[in-house]
Amino acid sequence: MAPLDQVRSYLFVPATDARRVDKALASDAHAVIVDLEDAVPEAAKDDGRRLVAARLRQRRARGLQLVRINGLDTAHARADLQALEGLALHGMVVPKAEPQPLHSLAPSGPPVVALVETATGLRRAFETATRPRVAKLMLGVVDLALELGATPGPDGRELLHARSALVVDSVAAGLGGPIDGPCTAIGDEDALRAETVAAKALGFAAKACVHPEQVAVVHDVFEPSAEDLERARRIVAAADAAAAGGRGAVAVDGEMVDAPVVARARRLLAAGE
């Protein structure tokens, strides 16, 4: 399993404050994304690159580290890519990801998390997912909603189609479940939990965070519960017994269990044990 496939939380931190970057790197987040794009003012881009170069030469004690560069069609992209050379990165996040700009990337380098946050990017997400180096898709909820003219609501239904479409394209391209965008209601644990539960139900495999305190809730939602694991064990045991006896589908807890359900149970056990 590739390193990014095991990540459930991606914590964004701006490359403008060394103390905040150090705090993020020491956090429980599975992955930290040091941001050179939206979180860094135009006049501070060079300072941000110097901070990234200073802090990311060594791997984190635990977890992964990535950098969000500026858009590939901007004047800053080349300087960003040069600043990343030789760093201990597990990947880089490319904003406004669409198929054509990704052609400008070298064929080798850190894996790419493609941030889908435009209407065109959403329509062409499958193409983006099949580009060399693209390892994961992430939904850019704020920018996409703004472009679509969608009004954010408490249930997130304004981006329901976008989320569902991105899951389909990501899985169809062989990348597995994508990464959901962050909950912007900092400090509202109920809103974060509801949003994360809904994303998981749609097929997302991870969620971005914008504050270290959001990480624990995201982990709690995505990590399988003891009850989930125990049911998965019963399903696998029943399926193995049926196969040994030359039988196909079996019933577990009063429900019919066939091959896709067994495969899901095996994946759950592999991820949770």
| 41-67 pLDDT, tens digit each | 999 999 999 999 999 999 998 899 999
User: Exposed, middle or buried by CB within 10 Å (0-12, 13-18, 19+), for 154?
Assistant: exposed
In this predicted structure, what is the pLDDT of residue 68?
Answer: 98
Q: Under a CB-based contact definition with an 8 Å cutoff, are residues 33 and 68 in contact? A: yes
In this predicted structure, what is the pLDDT of residue 251?
Answer: 82
Of 236 and 24, the one with more pLDDT: 24
Q: Under a CB-based contact definition with an 8 Å cutoff, are residues 4 and 64 in contact? A: yes
Q: How confident is the model at residue 15 (pLDDT cuts 50, 70, 90)?
A: very high
Euclidean distance between the first and the last CA atom of the chain, given in angstroms as a whole number = 14
What percent of the chain has pLDDT above 90?
74
CA distance 15 to 20: 9
Closest-CA residue to 49 (of 3, 10, 98, 82): 82
Q: How confident is the prediction for the chain on average, in pLDDT?
A: 93
**117 DSSP β-pair partners:** none
Residue for token digits 């020491």? 26
Check whether 7 has a pLDDT greater than 80: yes
Q: Under a CB-based contact definition with an 8 Å cutoff, are residues 135 and 4 in contact? A: yes
Given CA atoms 116, 120, 123, 128 in this order, what sign does their dihedral have?
Answer: negative
- The DSSP bridge pattern shows strands 31-35 and 9-14 to be parallel
What percent of the chain has pLDDT above 70?
98
CA distance 243 to 259: 11
In this predicted structure, what is the pLDDT of residue 129?
Answer: 98
Q: 199 CB contacts (<8 Å, ≥6 apart)?
A: 163, 180, 207
Segment (H or E) for 66:
strand 64-68
Closest-CA residue to 171 (of 193, 203, 194): 203
Statement: the pTM of the whole predicted model exceeds 0.85: yes
CA distance 163 to 202: 8
Check whether 247 has a pLDDT greater than 90: no
In this predicted structure, what is the pLDDT of residue 272?
Answer: 64
Fold designation for 3-222: TIM Barrel (3.20.20)
Residue 80: count of CB within 10 angstroms of its CB: 22
Tell me: the pLDDT tens digits for 101-144?
A: 999 899 899 999 999 999 999 999 999 999 999 999 999 999 99
In this predicted structure, what is the pLDDT of residue 219?
Answer: 97
Check whether 158 has a pLDDT greater than 80: yes
Tell me: the pLDDT tens digits for 213-239?
A: 999 999 999 988 788 888 889 888 888
CA distance 72 to 207: 24
Check whether 25 has a pLDDT greater than 70: yes
Closest-CA residue to 106 (of 72, 59, 136): 72
Q: How confident is the model at residue 273 (pLDDT cuts 50, 70, 90)?
A: low
Q: Looking only at Cα atoms, what is the longest distance across the chain?
A: 70
In this predicted structure, what is the pLDDT of residue 239?
Answer: 84
Domain limits, CATH 3.20.20.60, in the chain: 3-222
Of 201 and 267, the one with more pLDDT: 201
